[in-house]
Structure 1
Amino acid sequence: MLAEVSALLAPLAAAIGYSSYKARRLEQTYPNIGELTDVGGYRMNAVHLKRPEHADLPPLVFIHGASGNLLDQVVAFRTALEGRAEMLFVDRPGHGYSERGGPENAVPSGQADAIARLMEARGIDRAIIVGHSFGGAITATFGLRHPEKTAGLLFLAPATHPWPGGIDWYYHVATAPLVGWLFNHAIVVPLGLSRLERGTLNVFRPNPRPLDYIEKTGPSLVLRPRTFRNNAADFKRLLAYLKEHSPLYSQITAPTVIITGDSDEIVWEHLHSRGLARDIAASELITVRGVGHKPDYLATDVAIAAIEKIAGMPRDLQAIARRAEERLAAASSNRTHAAAPSLRPDALHGA
């Protein structure tokens, strides 16, 4: 009997040991580039670029989506906006290198409040809040709960409204008692690493993923056991939260722009982005044709123009979006021609 138990436990112990080793290696590969700040009993991590001397934009706060960390938005926006604004790139509570805090941080309201306290600690009175995907739910909540700190809202492929159906099975497993601990500590790392390539390609589909995206943004950090559980807990609570709070969006008064792709298979634009445009008076919806779930990378120029418009600069966002579509179509055509195989004479005969 003892031998049988040992035979069962040995592979499990080996899997836990391997996962622990790989989690440490992931942190060595993607070390923290931010700074931890106490926000009331726990610490939030962020990259804070202080106001430049010749800033022409108000402060900007960037909120990443599910399964991500602050590097995702740093890579998308930092270089393009550096020197123009004070910027705060945030690891949401329990993600990246931020500590989780209390149970209130499993829902967007807790995370929005944490970001508001982080802004106070960093001396930022008001900012344009920029949220991608899951970060859109937190951005909307921020606009509702902290209007005095909100100079404007920019939503990028946001998840903001109730959707039909549920969530993937592994989020339920990851949050289950005991079984969840075993799953997170033994299975998630090897399973997640095996699916990382396909998963990140799917997030960008139908557009190409940047070749260095994984290397620069560290999406595998979400596979660490505690972070994966936090991510799963966020997902499990989101649908019920949105059912209760999305009817309140009509109370948002801050200048608002929503940017979405019409080919987003991750977060349906007809449900979420159009819903926001319907619910927030005087908001502007920009749909970029041919773009999937990553307008922050595929239409960065449109997003920056939206920030400028929210800040009071005259910008024709619809025209800028059409130019972005032309650029993307030309790039797609060039890739197609470059990838087309040459026809050898014997190829015509199936040789």
Structure 2
Amino acid sequence: MWIILAIGLAVAAFWMFTLWRAARHEARAEASHPPRGQFVEIDGLRIHAEVMGNGPDLVMIHGSNGNTRDLTYALAPLLARQFRVILFDRPGLGFSDPLPKPSAGIAHQAAAMMQAARELGADRPMVLGHSYGGAVALAWAVHHPEAISGLIAVSAASNPWTTPLDPLYRVTSSPIGAAIAVPLITAYVPDSYVIRSLQEVFAPQPEPPDYAAHFGPGLSLRRSSLRANAWHRAILLDEIRALHRRYGEIAVPTEIVHGTADDTVNFDLHSVSLSRQIPAAQLRALAGIGHMPHHVASEEVAAAVLRAAQRAGLR
């Protein structure tokens, strides 16, 4: 009996220490990389937005486990010379509130950001999405065609795939994993783990030397972000299966930019297919570029935005 009690007390002490360490890690990450924009409230949901530049409205949506800082590193400042750029933290990531799990998918994220854009005076912006954010941008174009003037899909997840969900996401998207594994990750996984992951995502190009310091790896390791991102990834395939049948309805000027050496989102499956599914789509293939063209080929991505704006009559 005393042994069981001692074990129970030891487990409880370890768990209390873990929660304290996780909270300390989160506080340190938010102190070093605080929100830099403003908050827009939509039906009680706070969405963090950064706005820069002047000109036609352009909404930019980041990918998995990211935040606005991914897009403000290189691409947003470049485009802000000619556009009013609006960047959102997707719900549950960065500093935006999460959506309830039953309504946390790409369609609901698109609706929330569309409403937030309207609150900022952008009724019919162009919309650029990278990777997972590209799927959200596609959902925006399909479900809200009256609220978009042009679409730019960058390394966008767009069509059903056959590879299984990553084991980490299978664990962290489950109820037990979200309750137990996620706090352990936040408490004990160092920011260097995220930095190494970034290097893999940038391959075959090198990660810019100061990118991690700008991005804030610790923000991605917060419990709320890990849970939201895992759930987004767990339900994405089923959402894509339903959405991709409707791409033919997209009528706005569409530019697709994708690196042919992308090992994260396959070029042929996602972008070549997408270019055939959207009647108004034009595909720009970037030979030898990986998953992060908005960093390693920023000028090419900016040129695609300009082409979409010209085709939409905004330039």
Q: Name the TM-score class by shorter chain.
A: over 0.9
Q: Establish whether residue 26 from structure 1 lines up as the match of residue 29 from structure 2.
A: yes
* Offset of residue 189 of structure 1: 4.3
Residue aligned with 2:269, SS:
coil
* Offset of residue 135 of structure 1: 0.4
Residue 263 of structure 2, aligned match among 262, 265, 272: 265
Instruction: Output the CA distance in 2 between the equivalents of 1:143 and 1:297.
Output: 25
Match of 1:126 in 2: 124
Match of 2:278 in 1: 280
Match of 2:197 in 1: 199
On the 8 A contact 2:129/2:153 being kept in 1, the answer is yes
Runs of at least 5 residues in structure 1 that lack an aligned partner in the other structure: 315-351
Number of residues paired by the alignment? Answer: 309
Runs of at least 5 residues in structure 2 that lack an aligned partner in the other structure: none
Match of 2:10 in 1: 7
Instruction: Output the CA distance in 2 between the equivalents of 1:170 and 1:192.
Output: 16
Instruction: Output the CA distance in 2 between the equivalents of 1:193 and 1:219.
Output: 6
Instruction: Output the CA distance in 1 between the equivalents of 2:311 and 2:162.
Output: 38
Instruction: Output the CA distance in 2 between the equivalents of 1:234 and 1:23.
Output: 21
Worse-matched range after superposition: 185-194 or 118-127 = 185-194
Instruction: Output the CA distance in 2 between the equivalents of 1:86 and 1:199.
Output: 31
Instruction: Output the CA distance in 2 between the equivalents of 1:213 and 1:34.
Output: 19
On the 8 A contact 2:259/2:293 being kept in 1, the answer is yes
Q: Establish whether residue 42 from structure 1 lines up as the match of residue 45 from structure 2.
A: yes
Q: Establish whether residue 309 from structure 1 lines up as the match of residue 285 from structure 2.
A: no
Alignment TM-score, normalising by the size of structure 2 = 0.94
Letter in 2 for 1:9: A
Residue 117 of structure 1, aligned match among 115, 118, 137: 115
Match of 2:288 in 1: 290
On the 8 A contact 2:195/2:217 being kept in 1, the answer is no
Residue aligned with 2:150, SS:
strand
* Offset of residue 10 of structure 1: 2.7
Using a 3 Å threshold, how does the CA distance of structure 1 residues 49 and 197 change in structure 2: closer, same or farther? closer
Q: Establish whether residue 103 from structure 1 lines up as the match of residue 104 from structure 2.
A: no
Residue 183 of structure 2, aligned match among 154, 172, 185: 185
Instruction: Output the CA distance in 2 between the equivalents of 1:186 and 1:295.
Output: 33
Output one character per residue of 1:28-53: Cα deviation in whole Å (capped at 9) or x when no partner. Answer: 01101011111112111100236x3x
Worse-matched range after superposition: 181-190 or 84-93 = 181-190
On the 8 A contact 1:41/1:101 being kept in 2, the answer is no
Instruction: Output the CA distance in 1 between the equivalents of 2:116 and 2:177.
Output: 34
Letter in 1 for 2:137: T
Output one character per residue of 1:121-165: Cα deviation in whole Å (capped at 9) or x when no partner. Answer: 111121110000000100111111111221111111111111112
Instruction: Output the CA distance in 2 between the equivalents of 1:18 and 1:194.
Output: 17
* Offset of residue 237 of structure 1: 0.6
Instruction: Output the CA distance in 1 between the equivalents of 2:79 and 2:162.
Output: 37
Match of 1:343 in 2: none
1:64-79 alignment runs, 5 A limit = 64-79=62-77
Higher RCO (CA 8 Å, separation ≥ 6 residues): 2
* Offset of residue 179 of structure 1: 4.0
On the 8 A contact 1:256/1:310 being kept in 2, the answer is yes
- Coordinate RMSD, CA, aligned: 1.7
Alignment TM-score, normalising by the size of structure 1 = 0.84
Instruction: Output the CA distance in 2 between the equivalents of 1:307 and 1:23.
Output: 35
Instruction: Output the CA distance in 1 between the equivalents of 2:70 and 2:103.
Output: 21
Worse-matched range after superposition: 174-183 or 250-259 = 174-183
Instruction: Output the CA distance in 2 between the equivalents of 1:285 and 1:131.
Output: 15
Identity in percent: 31
On the 8 A contact 2:19/2:187 being kept in 1, the answer is no
Letter in 2 for 1:164: T
Letter in 2 for 1:20: A
On the 8 A contact 1:67/1:219 being kept in 2, the answer is no
Greater gyration radius: 1
Letter in 1 for 2:124: R
* Offset of residue 62 of structure 1: 0.2
Instruction: Output the CA distance in 2 between the equivalents of 1:266 and 1:233.
Output: 18
1:147-186 alignment runs, 5 A limit = 147-186=145-184
On the 8 A contact 1:59/1:127 being kept in 2, the answer is yes
